[in-house]
Chain A
């Protein structure tokens, strides 16, 4: 009783006459061209400004910038402050992501929106908000000064702004990654003898790690590129202590200052230098991911 039974043949089953088929439009090439043009335009927009930065001055200028002590200090300070904010994201952001992904409690959706808030708030407002919160004379201001963690023109202020704008990426990425771990796999590990903490360390966390690392990278990128909030709270900082001694600043503000002072070539060179460093960091994380250093290699998790 297969398709060969002539009684089962319906009129609609007949194949179209050859002539109709030949006249049909060949959409394949147009479809492909459309995809190339649309996606290519955006890629060009990504690439061209960066290319412009690198080619504005002589290429060797880029590395000569490293001889400038001010540039070195700004770079060091940027990595230092952003490093601390990534650490804060690891210690506090990953647990928050886990709670949002795995626990059910009233008000969870409100909390989720709160976490996403810093992503959507314009960053100048972050600085303004922190400024009003820590306005000189207020209780938070006096406490922070008394405890030796002043906000204005200080490392603490820079880290505070950076954490505010960058930690949500870690929280959101860890939340998504923890939620994507199949609950049945976790139950299997529990049943095989793992307590809740062991199951987390041996199964849940390793499986979520790839997404979490991506979140941390995004957080770091967001932290080093911050400028709006910093302009209000700490456009330069006294790394030494309380409003005294030499000053430095983050690389983004340093470049902004160069540009404002009319040193376009210097701004382009320092930007290029920093871009190269950022590229190197992204690249090394991706290489690490493939190297077998992580508990899995790319492609092992899906067939």
Chain B
């Protein structure tokens, strides 16, 4: 059960500079690192794992500085992008690898227990190339856990997994959190899964930390358009879109409520039943049914706005080209970035 602290950590990889990064991973907690491609997410994980030198700042584990420790001394369960399974070793020998290295007397028993726990026993003698994506993920996590690491470091766990495998991996993560209490730091592009496993979110952009947030803060006030889209806002308008010409009433109305980087809207609902919200009109461009209701995309005042018809809903669906009216409630508007103008 360790507490990991990074303080002003900086590193360089060729021309790319990362940092300063400061963050904390409490015992038993999980941090998701979010950011667009090229933000430095993998660079950060490789620095934590010891593959890139810490140029400035400190990484501490339970108060001990480990910035200059070798990768093999850090007791991490590092799972690189693509999993890094050993293609020349069977599932069993992949999982047993860290135990072999440590000459653990209980190696065989522990390997068997991990195989059992991750439902890999029937696959023990197979090579990784003969496994499905989900099975490979389970091997990777079992191998990472084998030597009882102090931190799981996982780069893109959900890459190239089908829906079922994603669901199963979610369960694995929950078990990790509940039974092992190992802290986890994970890089992901999938917001749904990030929210399901992480308690805090580190936002990276171009090598800089934009902040570390909890889920509620992130949803209430996303720091920028990228994060807003990432966490699932469907209506995100950056500053350039709001200021594009020709100006329209909806654009102006949103601009007055926007932060420095733009604005995000919780989906307005249909039919518009809000007494005090201003009403807008748009033309239906598409209507898509789903378990959470009907998603309707309309063009209103040169902006695309996604609306929701909550369940229970029944045909007739709004048809293409139909004019519909919707209201935008004041509390569904989330300014992005620091507020600069037009406080309500």
Contact = CB atoms under 8 A, between A and B. Distances in A.
Interface string A201-212: 011001100000
Contacts of B143: 192
Contact of A185 (B50, B87, B147, B153): B87
Interface in A180-199: 182, 184-185, 187-195, 198
A154 B248 CA distance: 94
A302 interface: yes
Contacts of B84: 182, 184-185, 187-189
Nearest to B49: A191
Interface in B71-128: 71-72, 74, 76-88, 97-98, 101-102, 127
User: Size band of the A side of the interface?
Assistant: 20 to 34
Interface of B: 46, 49-51, 70-72, 74, 76-88, 97-98, 101-102, 127, 129-130, 143-144, 146-147, 153, 286, 288
Contacts of A295: 88
A303 interface: yes
A185 B102 CA distance: 19
A194 B72 contact: yes
**6 A-B pairs with the lowest CB-CB distances in the bound complex, closest first:** A188-B84, A191-B78, A184-B80, A192-B98, A296-B88, A190-B71
A296 B87 contact: yes
Contacts of B76: 191
Contact of B72 (A193, A203, A206, A302): A193
A300 B86 CA distance: 11
A301 interface: yes
Given A185-B86, A187-B80, A300-B129, A192 B101 contact: yes
Contacts of A202: 97
Contacts of B77: 191-192
Nearest to A181: B87
Contact of A207 (B78, B88, B129, B146): B88
A192 B152 CA distance: 11
Contact of A191 (B74, B88, B127, B286): B74
A187 B49 contact: yes
A287 B326 CA distance: 74
Q: Among B80, B81, B82, B88, find the residue whose CB has the most chain A CB atoms closer than 10 A.
A: B88
A193 B102 contact: yes
A9 B42 CA distance: 44
11 contacts: A185-B85, A188-B84, A188-B86, A191-B77, A192-B147, A195-B70, A206-B88, A207-B88, A300-B87, A300-B129, A302-B129
A190 B81 contact: no
A1 interface: yes
Nearest to B130: A303
Contacts of A189: 84, 86, 97
Given A185-B87, A191-B71, A193-B102, 12 more contacts: A184-B80, A188-B79, A188-B83, A190-B51, A191-B78, A192-B77, A192-B146, A195-B70, A296-B87, A296-B127, A300-B130, A301-B129
Q: Among B80, B143, B147, find the residue whose CB has the most chain A CB atoms closer than 10 A.
A: B80
B129 A191 contact: no
Contacts of A190: 50-51, 70-72
A301 B88 contact: yes
A300 B76 CA distance: 28
B72 A187 contact: no
A192 B97 contact: yes
A1 B318 CA distance: 13
Contacts of A301: 87-88, 127, 129
A221 B127 CA distance: 33
Given A182-B82, A192-B143, A207-B87, A187 B101 contact: no
Interface in A199-227: 202-203, 206-207
Q: Among A184, A188, A206, find the residue whose CB has the most chain B CB atoms closer than 10 A.
A: A188
A185 B97 CA distance: 13
Interface in A245-303: 295-296, 300-303
Contacts of B86: 185, 188-189, 203
Contact of B78 (A182, A188, A206): A188
A295 B87 CA distance: 10
A195 B286 contact: no
B46 A195 contact: no
A1 B286 contact: yes
Contact of A188 (B80, B127, B286): B80
A182 B98 CA distance: 19
B146 to A, nearest CB: 8
A289 B267 CA distance: 61
B306 to A, nearest CB: 15
Nearest to B126: A300
B183 to A, nearest CB: 15
Contact of B98 (A184, A193, A296, A300): A193
Nearest to A191: B78
Nearest to B131: A303
Interface string A40-77: 00000000000000000000000000000000000000
Contacts of A194: 72, 101
Contacts of A303: 129-130
Interface in A144-191: 182, 184-185, 187-191
A192 B127 CA distance: 19
Contacts of B78: 187-188, 191-192
Given A187-B49, A192-B143, A300 B82 contact: no
A301 B128 CA distance: 8
Contacts of B102: 193
Contacts of A203: 86
A296 to B, nearest CB: 4
Q: Among B51, B81, B143, find the residue whose CB has the most chain A CB atoms closer than 10 A.
A: B51
